[in-house]
Structure 1
Amino acid sequence: MVDEWRSIETELEGISDERSELEDAFARVSDALYTLDADLRYTLVNDRARSLFDPFAEDAADESASPNESENAASESVTGRLESLFGDAHERAFERQRQLSVEVHDDGSDRWFEARCYPDTSGVTVLVADATERKRRKRELEEGNRRLRSIFEDAHDAILVGDENEIVAANPAASELLGVDRSEISGRSLKEFIHDDHDVPSAWETFLERGRLRGSFSLVRPDGTERIVEYNAVANVLPGTHLSILRDVTEARQREAELERQRERLAALDHVNGVVREINDAVVTGSTRAHLERVTCESLADSPSYEFAFIGDVDVKSESISHRVEAGIDGYVESIPLSTDSDDPSGRGPAGKAIRTRTIQVSNDVFADPDFEPWREDAREHGYESAAAIPITYDSALYGILGITSERRNAFTDEERDVVAQLGEILGHAIAALERKRVLLGDDLIELELVIDDAVAMFDGPDMTGHSIWFDRVVRTGDEQFLEYGRTAAETFPLLEEIVECVPHWDEVSVLQRSAGDVKFELAITSPPMFGVIDAYGGYVEAAAIHDGEYTTTVHFPTGTDVRAVMDELTEVYPSIRTVARRQISPSSKSLEQLQAKLAEALTDRQRTALEMAYYGGYFEWPRDNSGEEIAESMDVTAATFHEHLRAAQHKLITTILDDAETAGEDATDDR
């Protein structure tokens, strides 16, 4: 029996030695390690496992308990926690005889553990590692990836990932920007969408050299639409893989361009208004037509809004345009082909059209306008992209053509076009005013005697055989509005009333005075073709009459008037008109000429109109043929305004006469 126990003791000692060696080996393992036998009973637990899972490990041992009792209590606590956390894994690994890894959260310590179970037929060996920090980093990484994915998917800007030849990832905004379904973007190259005018090779070389690049380019979608994009690209976010962020700035660029165009238009409008002011100043200071035209062209050419300007003469008969004034350029009109003939290519541009239509004509993109082809090389040479031609007109008279160029594309649009168009009217009105003043102040005049045969019959009027009507004076009362004062026999006046019904531009006739078988009348006229032409060329009707149905008139024009142009325009309206006489005349009285000159300078247009209408309307007769209120109504002003103009005109008239008389008296005294 003793021998038998010794044998068992020896075996136990051997086993004890093996266990000691295993425990020493386990102690050297840094991870928590424990083993279970085939019945899944715990056989070994290393110190690391005890420190992780023994809640009493940090507390002092119970002094009343023996070391074995404390160790047993600690072991039960450890194995209890291990069983609660990993017991299911032990069973599954041993049953399947396959390595098994599990991650478990310990609610008590709020920590994550990873257990790797290594089974064999004798039991299970388990390694346990604290995975809390790794799980935290993993969660942070997943959260970061989730945020990045959210940014990628929800970003308003287009995001592309890829290399030079292939896009590997694109967000929804990229699909919208490129105009391509998202599933069809991968595998395509961004270069396919970049406009040809962008230097892609140079940009790509710079991008790789610097590692990042910012800029903009025009992007062309498959449907042909273009968008302007700004890009921010970063190279090699992964080896050989690049990131590009594209932002659609089309609307922003368009708004910027529109704001810039508005600023340019406002500046141009200010410049044009400055030209108008200078023209008005030149008129007030009594400048000549040549001075007016020079001021207009120089003011336009000096403006930063325009390149150069010119004024040309128009010869309707020869269909040609010749030089008058130019500024900002020399010898321009003579160097380019210009015509008014619509069958000639050089007559289909803005100038030719403006002359034919008597309205402003523009080419806002001379390089795209097919009608501007004859002057395209000229535009390149002189650096302009827009051109405008403005007819210089007043009533039906054409005084020339004003040409303006600008380096801005679409310069003559909207308000700028309207204001520039007014230059032709303002300049035409100013030239006409100067011509009329020349008639009143000039030493010599051109006198024309004109006859319109069968004038009354032309309008299907009554038979005027043996009847006469005399027209003594024509007074302009407004734009296209005239009053004509005249007289006729009492028996002829009903025929005059019939003529008024027939002639479209004769509005109304009213009796001013009846006496001794005669009738003095006032005839209201709107847009009369003859008066409009005569007035436009600075002339006036000296006398007119109807005798036996023929209309005769004597007209005075300033010296230098293009009489042929006047007659051409009159013939277009009245084909039967003819010139009876043309002569050069001089005022008969020097003193009368001086008086008229002073009055022409002293009286305003409205004061002169009030004085003439009062005189020819019978306001100064006794009894009066017309009251102040009636004449004011004809002038389309209030009675107070009429009397104000009339009193001012009378004062200036009397002052002029008395000043002349006083001066004459002084001269006579000196002569004696």
Structure 2
Amino acid sequence: MTADTQEITERAAAITQRVLGLDYTALWEYNERTGELQLATTVTSRKIDDETIRYPDGFSEQVWQTFISDDVEICTDLSPIPENLMSESPVRSNVLIPLSRKGVIYAGSMDPETFDETTVDLARTLAATLETALERAEGEQQLAQQNRDLAYLDQLYSLMWKIDQKLVQAGTVESIDRAVCEQLADSDLFEFAWIGEFDAIRNTITPRQWAGIDSSYLDDRTITIDANATNQDPVADAVSTQDSQIVADVATDKRLAAFRETILARGARSCISVPLIFEDTLYGVLTVFAAQLQPHERNQRVLDELGRTIAHAINAAQKEETVRTDNVVELTIQFQEPGTVLARLARNADVKFQFKGIVPDGNDSSHVFFTGSRTSADEIHAAGRNLAAITRITRVAENDETCMFRATVSGSTLASQLATQKGAMRTLTFDRNAAIAIVDLPSTADVRPFVDELQRTYSSVKIMSHRSRDRLPESVQDVQMAIREPLTERQADVLKLAYLSGFFESPRESTGQEIADLLDVSAPTFTQHLRAAERKVFALAFDEE
């Protein structure tokens, strides 16, 4: 309740007592939030000690009936005083007067027959006057609140317009981030803001830009996303749910307990974390802090729209940068439970492993190489033997922390599917729930058809990040292309299989006979293919022009 109506409410009983000249008055106020009538104020004359007034069981029901009937209730003679009404009070007559939806006024006198027709009419008039005063005060306060809301909205939308203008001028992701954070922090509506970068491989968010706050709050701050955690940081929840997260009170919300003192010391009491999403791709998370409790209800809707605008601007800037610098488009793609053989292997073994390479073996089978934790080697072997699609699984190399495995699998794999697309797969990681791939696309490629093609095979495909990245140096690309160009497909497969199997390590991790067996050829035939491939590669290095 605002100050004006509160003042009228507090004085209602005193006004009634003074106008009617009675010994005792009280106001029962209606609480719209709880739906109950509550004793708000009492006023007594010097004849009565208000501590002697007692309201027996059932009196609250009498007050309630007066409130809902909206009719005056009069009792002209309480002599002898009923014990169930006021056991110690000398009040001999009283009246209950409803104040419409505001509550009920109770008035009592030490004398019987006090409330004649004239007094009751005066009481009705007084009640009507109080109702009118309350309604007028509420109307004025509502108008004042509307004016404050309009002024706030004017500030908010003016701020959004300024940010939009800055986004139009910004040409890089860094300048977009900086413009957004600075405009928000410099406004009177917010205290500070920061934008976090999502790493889909590590499943973390780290700050990439901020304003209105010194770096000490964000130094070394890495937020880890854990879908199974309770009271997770709201920034992590924004990434997990792809929805904005509101902290109404920093002082009490457990999700920010670790940073509570730091945030409060910088004048903030609430915050909103907004995922920056455009065309189902996450471009970061914007978190904005405000000084008031419970962020203004308009903030979330406006900041949600701002989040989409920022994401669109980042997407456009990355495309422009890619075209201008001849970069590549780097996509981080999540496949939720893709169902392929390697995904089932990771789920059954309850491990995480990194794909290293694939060599076709003919007859719809392939040799797949991947690394996993050395401590999980036995689980991987056991799970592999129980999968029908894996005909053989072998540990081909190991060090103190990891093991390299080679699995001969039948059917299509996620790696082979990605290899047939227009992109170049850089990394592919599997765990028990998902696979995450980082793929480079040509700068001229359209991302949407690429994703649509994957979604025809896999039901749950999500672009976790989308950014422009420097292309490999031309000298590196030239060497790679020059090596592959003279090799036949068979020679390339033999060379790759030998390399991944550790044939060139010292000591060798796989013998020539073992690799020949994998290729289903004789050892001399393997040696013949290998030497032919080596001769072509060495010729590139040592032949004269």
TM-score range, shorter chain: 0.3 to 0.5
TM-score by length of 1: 0.33
TM-score by length of 2: 0.40
Give the structure with higher Rg (CA). Answer: 1
